[in-house]
């Protein structure tokens, strides 16, 4: 009857504890989550003729570099995913974030453990309080299982899980950001390299022209028609063009080495053949600025950090309340004299446990203050990231618009300078013009052509930067449950 009464009393106490826990199970001490407010202009200021009416979703997200229609660039970009060590590091960090999330989620459910031992013991003859009939040698065998469950009445574990989810999503966005950054860096380097290829061909053509001019001045000097000054000017012009070509090839080699590292190859074993790559400026569709918030990985990561720190406040608040858990222990134990798994050898223990700090000298208050400050810091960082994103889009839009105007004007300048160069050389052959005038005309023509190529390369670089500023190949769909987690209270 005593045993029966014990079971009934235990059941009543346990039921009361569970009922109270159920009433508190939905408690959550984290503040209601709202995405920090940021300035969101209705349209981009620097739109101009660059922007098309095509929706932003028409931009290829996974292979945006194909907008440049260059097979070599396409092949290089495809190699980043499997060979770039920086991307591999970012992927490892994302895998670690997923592992941390699994650790947090494990606390939501009861923990089950089993164990046992089979010892042969000898006790001291002088052990305090030892009775005379206790043996010197005895066995100690035990097999038991234990269950522990933190009831999480104040939402500490749930908020830790919500923070883990947000951190994992932020890590995923960081991974997408690293991928986009590497893709854009590769495209930028490649387009610069092709610009240098064009400049190298221009200088090689100029060297050919200057070589002919040097030969002509030498012939005229030998005939007493031209002075030694003409020969010196022709030689200086010819040598200067050769020096410029060497400098261009050196800069090209550095870009080639940088591309090798991006695609995971040793620079010593990597080469990109020089070729005439007629890369066109693509029309990148842009939409209203709010779309930017859905495309940029750094903005997504910053927003998830705000969400993680918001639930961190709930974790810090839960520390002020008692931690209530349930535990159960059951097993068998004997001294080795009879079968272990027998009814007389059974034991068990079941009941709730409560732990609460009564005085911590301000520790929990300090932890809560740190959590609130971390949330304020993350919110400010988010707003700063959004403002920077708008700035980058506007910067590259204005560059594309103004450089397009500069390219048009420079094309007119090149045409005029080239005509002047040809005319000056013809007049010099007929003795109607000094060679100094020829040098000036040829130098002006070369500089105009070089500047035209530089503007073209800068326009291509600005287009890459704009794609990157718009989020490149990233989309909300790649982050699971982003929309729900952004709009609802975590946990």
Q: Check if CATH label 3.40.1210.10 holds for domain 25-106+156-318+370-487.
A: no
Boundaries of every domain in the chain: 25-106+156-318+370-487
d(CA 135, CA 132): 8
- Summarize pLDDT for 187-210 with one digit per residue, the tens: 999 999 999 999 999 999 999 988
d(CA 165, CA 35): 16
- Which of 18-22, 254-258, 332-336 has the weakest average pLDDT? 18-22
pLDDT of 458 strictly over 90: yes
Q: Which residue has the higher pLDDT, 408 or 276?
A: 408
Q: What is the pLDDT of residue 478?
A: 45
pLDDT band for position 134 (50/70/90)?
Answer: confident
Helix (H) or strand (E) holding 482: helix 482-487
- Summarize pLDDT for 210-220 with one digit per residue, the tens: 898 889 889 88
d(CA 296, CA 356): 44
How many residues belong to the chain? 491
d(CA 245, CA 196): 10
- Summarize pLDDT for 350-387 with one digit per residue, the tens: 888 888 888 889 998 999 999 999 999 999 999 999 99
Q: What is the pLDDT of residue 491?
A: 33
d(CA 180, CA 473): 7
What is the DSSP track for 250-308? HHHHHHHHHHHHHTT--GGG---------PPPP------GGGHHHH-HHHHHHHHHHHH
Q: Are 410 and 448 in contact (CB under 8 A)?
A: yes
Q: What is the pLDDT of residue 220?
A: 82
Q: What is the pLDDT of residue 56?
A: 44
pLDDT of 18 strictly over 90: no
pLDDT band for position 450 (50/70/90)?
Answer: very high
Q: What is the pLDDT of residue 481?
A: 43
* Neighbouring C-beta atoms of residue 403, cutoff 10 Å: 22
Q: What is the pLDDT of residue 476?
A: 47
Q: What is the mean pLDDT of the segment spanning 463-474?
A: 82
Instruction: Out of 28-32, 286-290, 339-343, give the one with best mean pLDDT.
Output: 339-343
pLDDT band for position 438 (50/70/90)?
Answer: confident
Number of H helices, E strands in the chain: 10, 4
Distance of CA 422 to the CA centre of its chain: 53
- Summarize pLDDT for 51-77 with one digit per residue, the tens: 433 344 445 556 889 888 899 999 999
d(CA 418, CA 447): 11
Q: What is the pLDDT of residue 434?
A: 79
Q: Which residue has the higher pLDDT, 16 or 397?
A: 397
Rounded to the nearest integer, the mean pLDDT of the chain is 84
């Amino acid at each position: 009857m005593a045993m029966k009464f014990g079971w009934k009393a235990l059941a009543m106490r346990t039921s009361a504890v569970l009922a109270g826990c159920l009433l508190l199970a939905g408690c959550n001490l984290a503040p209601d989550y709202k995405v920090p407010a940021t300035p969101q202009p209705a349209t981009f200021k620097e739109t101009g003729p660059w922007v098309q009416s095509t929706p932003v979703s028409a931009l290829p997200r996974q292979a945006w570099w194909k907008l440049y229609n260059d097979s070599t660039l396409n092949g290089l970009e495809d190699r980043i995913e499997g060979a770039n060590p920086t991307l591999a590091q970012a992927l490892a960090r994302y895998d670690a974030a997923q592992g941390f999330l699994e650790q947090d989620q494990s606390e939501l459910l009861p923990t089950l453990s089993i164990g046992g031992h089979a010892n042969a013991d000898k006790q001291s003859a002088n052990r305090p309080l030892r009775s005379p009939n206790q043996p010197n040698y005895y066995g100690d065998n035990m097999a038991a299982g234990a269950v522990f469950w933190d009831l999480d009445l104040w939402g500490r574990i749930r908020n830790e899980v919500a923070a883990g989810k947000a951190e994992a999503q932020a890590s995923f966005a960081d991974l997408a950001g690293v991928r986009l950054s590497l893709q854009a860096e590769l495209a930028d380097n490649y387009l610069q390299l092709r610009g240098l290829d064009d400049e190298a061909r221009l200088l090689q053509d100029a060297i050919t022209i200057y070589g002919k001019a040097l030969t002509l001045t030498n012939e005229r000097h030998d005939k007493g028609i031209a002075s030694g000054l003409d020969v010196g000017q022709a030689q200086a012009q010819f040598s200067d063009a050769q020096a410029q070509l060497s400098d261009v090839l050196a800069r090209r080699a550095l870009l080639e080495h940088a591309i090798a590292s991006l695609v995971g190859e040793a620079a010593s074993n990597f080469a990109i053949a020089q070729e005439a790559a007629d890369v066109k400026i693509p029309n990148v569709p842009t939409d209203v600025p709010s779309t930017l918030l859905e495309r940029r990985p750094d903005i997504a990561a910053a927003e998830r950090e705000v969400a993680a720190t918001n639930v961190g406040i709930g974790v810090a608040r839960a520390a002020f309340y008692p931690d209530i858990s349930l535990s159960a222990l059951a097993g068998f134990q004997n001294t080795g004299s009879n079968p272990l798994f027998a009814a007389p050898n059974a034991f068990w223990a079941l009941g709730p446990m409560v732990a609460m700090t009564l005085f911590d000298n301000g520790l929990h208050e300090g932890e809560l203050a740190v959590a609130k400050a971390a949330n304020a810091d993350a919110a400010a960082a988010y707003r700063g990231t959004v403002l920077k994103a708008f700035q980058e889009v506007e910067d590259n839009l204005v560059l594309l618009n103004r450089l397009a105007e500069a390219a048009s004007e420079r094309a007119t300048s090149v045409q005029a300078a080239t005509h002047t160069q040809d005319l000056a050389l013809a007049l010099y052959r007929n003795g109607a013009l000094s060679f100094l005038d020829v040098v000036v005309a040829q130098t002006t023509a070369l500089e105009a052509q070089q500047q035209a190529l530089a503007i073209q390369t800068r326009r291509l670089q600005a287009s890459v930067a704009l794609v990157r500023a718009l989020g490149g190949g990233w989309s909300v769909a790649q982050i699971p449950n982003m929309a729900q987690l952004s709009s609802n209270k975590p946990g």
